[in-house]
Structure 1
Amino acid sequence: MPTYPPEPWHLAGQMYLSLWPVPRRALPPLPPGVRPLTLAGRALMGAAWVLYENDSVLRYNEVLSAVLVRDGLRPRVTITDIWVDSPPSMAGGRELWGIPKELAAFDVSRDKGFDASARTGSTALCTASFRPLTSLPGRWPVAYRVTQLLDGHLKTSPVRSRSTVGLARATWQIPPGSPLRLPADRPPLLSLTLHDFTLSFGSPAPTPSARTV
């Protein structure tokens, strides 16, 4: 089994994100006990390409889909499908947090914006193109929690990030037979670029308490 860093993972790079409103009945299966956060019967589903580079503890590419869920009234994110091109990332994601990572091959170009495709074996997963529209001033902090099923129990992990945010126009294509469950038959509600992000995923190991003699 490939070795991987302990949590938290400190990562940096580029993210290309699209969001869709999805009828609750059309969502992928969620872990037991996890409920989508809905408004008028619709949940929010996202998909992202992520390039972990620069000072990341691991360097790799990733494509994923996720659903906005809730723990009581507290919002959470659950990752439903995800592929990476790093065996250590796949092993760490599965064993540390219950993230269902699989392996894929990626083809990425940033010549005229962002164009990418991913394939697992002989099966094409998806392609996408992002074209920048405008950038927002400053660097934006974001904090949220990811909830996954790990060893039969829900595990919730903190995520903290900061990045330059831009609006983009994006197109996604999911070929027939792709295991990526995404409503890409219609344009995204919103697409964003998160450039030069820094991100911390997970919690440090608890410090052993001192023994009283």
Structure 2
Amino acid sequence: MTDDSDSPAPWQLTGHGYVQALRCSREFGEQCLRACPEFEGRALGGMGALMYIDYASSNVGPYRELLLSPGTFEIGGRRAAAITHIWVSSPASVANGRRNWGLPKEQAVFESAYNADGSETVRVHRDTAPPLSLTFAARGPALPVTTAILPRRWRTLEQPWHGQLYRTAIQARGRARIAALREVSNPAGSGFPDFSEQTRIVTVAASAFELVFPVPTIRTLAST
């Protein structure tokens, strides 16, 4: 799959991964806006998330992803979530993620391995930068979950891209269990924001999930 291949929305994806919920400061949100300069001055802080996802299947084949949503932003008089950093292992995912949903995707190299205790360590780096390393461990029973029980605004992204605003309401279902982000190594120069000062709330391991990224609503950013 080449990086200029066109794979329009909607997408259906499957895989497994981890979600680390964060309580983020407004200052941290502002610091993360290099790829979303249109949101400067709009950071509100609050609930955010760090996610690592290993997609077993997607509309452009398998790939891996690391993303950060550093809290909420003021958009048209309301709070909305946005992703400011999203690294993926596939050039086709980069091109189509930007084109379809305004996601500021960048390509990176991913390595992962399961440790003797069952935890999983993920290493990610871009170009010649030092790698970011995360170790997750899951425990307890896996229970069925679905985003259908959540208010739509909790699962809706607002992404600025080239003067337009992409609003996408994500749908997902799968199985989840409690987890922990045991170790983090994020050296200076990795290119990924240092989230160590943000409050970790809860970590969840998701397995056998099905995710739908629908056709977004697109409007000019000036209209917000």
TM interval, shorter chain, is 0.7 to 0.9
In 1, the alpha carbon distance for the partners of 2:216 and 2:22 equals 33
Is 1:131 matched with 2:137? yes
In 2, the alpha carbon distance for the partners of 1:165 and 1:104 equals 26
What residue in structure 2 maps to residue 160 of structure 1? 171
In 2, the alpha carbon distance for the partners of 1:62 and 1:124 equals 17
Aligned-pair Cα RMSD in Å: 2.5
Residue from 37, 44, 48 that aligns with 2:47: 44
Q: Does the Cα contact within 8 Å between 1:66 and 1:77 map onto a contact in 2?
A: yes
SS at match of 1:128: strand
- Unmatched tracts of structure 1, length 5 or more: 206-213
Is 1:12 matched with 2:14? yes
Is 1:81 matched with 2:85? yes
What residue in structure 2 maps to residue 197 of structure 1? 209
TM-score by length of 2: 0.79
Instruction: Indicate the percent of aligned positions where both proteins have the same amino acid.
Output: 24
In 2, the alpha carbon distance for the partners of 1:198 and 1:180 equals 27
The size of the alignment, in residue pairs, is 200
Amino acid of the structure 2 residue aligned with 1:201: F
> Please, which moves more after superposition, 87-96 or 184-193?
184-193
1:67-123 Cα distance to aligned partner (Å, 9 max, x none): 342546865321111111101000001112221111111101235232100011211
In 1, the alpha carbon distance for the partners of 2:192 and 2:7 equals 27
Aligned ranges 1:1-213 → 2 under 5 Å: 1-27=3-29, 28-29=32-33, 32=38, 35-36=42-43, 38=45, 43-53=46-56, 55-57=57-59, 58-69=61-72, 71=75, 76-111=80-115, 112-142=118-148, 144-170=155-181, 171-184=183-196, 188-203=200-215
Amino acid of the structure 2 residue aligned with 1:18: Q
Give the structure with the larger strand fraction: 1
What residue in structure 2 maps to residue 209 of structure 1? none
Q: Does the Cα contact within 8 Å between 1:62 and 1:82 map onto a contact in 2?
A: yes
- Unmatched tracts of structure 2, length 5 or more: 218-224
Report the CA distance between 1:130 and its aligned residue. Answer: 0.8
Report the CA distance between 1:44 and its aligned residue. Answer: 2.3
What residue in structure 2 maps to residue 211 of structure 1? none
1:120-169 Cα distance to aligned partner (Å, 9 max, x none): 12113411111112235323335611111122021111210002111111
In 2, the alpha carbon distance for the partners of 1:113 and 1:18 equals 15
Amino acid of the structure 2 residue aligned with 1:69: T
Q: Does the Cα contact within 8 Å between 1:125 and 1:180 map onto a contact in 2?
A: no
In 2, the alpha carbon distance for the partners of 1:77 and 1:135 equals 29
Q: Does the Cα contact within 8 Å between 2:169 and 2:216 map onto a contact in 1?
A: no
SS at match of 2:16: strand
In 1, the alpha carbon distance for the partners of 2:122 and 2:199 equals 17
Report the CA distance between 1:172 and its aligned residue. Answer: 2.1
Cα 1:136/1:74, change in 2 over 3 Å = farther
Amino acid of the structure 1 residue aligned with 2:156: R
SS at match of 1:92: helix
Cα 1:33/1:85, change in 2 over 3 Å = closer
Q: Does the Cα contact within 8 Å between 1:132 and 1:168 map onto a contact in 2?
A: yes
In 2, the alpha carbon distance for the partners of 1:189 and 1:107 equals 26
